[in-house]
Structure 1
Amino acid sequence: METVGYSPPVKRSVLIAGHPTSISLEPIFWQALEIAARDAAMPINALVAQIDEARMTVPEPPNLTSAIRQWLFGRALGG
């Protein structure tokens, strides 16, 4: 069984609709987000904007960081 390197969150700024937004994610999630953006042939900012837009369609939207983690986990599960 491979172990994961546990690390505290790292804060980065992304642009969503031209507005800077600060997001804190653990390095493993930043890496997964970079891979997902590369696979989709889009900048991270654009992918985060898509996730942000999708989260706002549910009755009780989670915060953006939580939505990103859930989206990445769903992607890892093949969904």
Structure 2
Amino acid sequence: MRSPVEKRSIVVNGHKTSVSLEAAFWNSMKEISDLRDMTLSELVGEIDRNRQQGNLSSAIRLFVLDYFKNRAAAALQPSRDGA
């Protein structure tokens, strides 16, 4: 049985590193980086610079969770234009 975790090499802040994430997280990261008009490496670098503790894979998972939680909360907010 194939592991649901995919290990990929990525350049983060000029250094090559390996990150292990489930395919759903890789797909979400690609979606977020596309929406922000940045590369996946740039997004991971931003996450790496802003993480408080833990390993990079955990920081990425928490970032993705927070990103989609914020999007869901924003979608529940009434619009400001009264529509």
TM surpasses 0.5:
yes
For normalisation by structure 1, the TM-score amounts to 0.83
* 1:66 paired to 2:62: no
Shift of 1:20: 0.4
1:1-79 equivalences in 2 (<5 Å): 8-55=4-51, 58=52, 61-78=53-70
- Secondary structure of the corresponding residue to residue 41 of structure 1: coil
For normalisation by structure 2, the TM-score amounts to 0.79
Larger helix fraction of residues:
2
Query: Who wins on radius of gyration, i.e. which is larger?
Result: 2
Query: Which consecutive aligned stretches of 4+ in structure 1 deviate over 2 angstroms post-superposition?
Result: none
Gap runs ≥5 in structure 2: 72-83
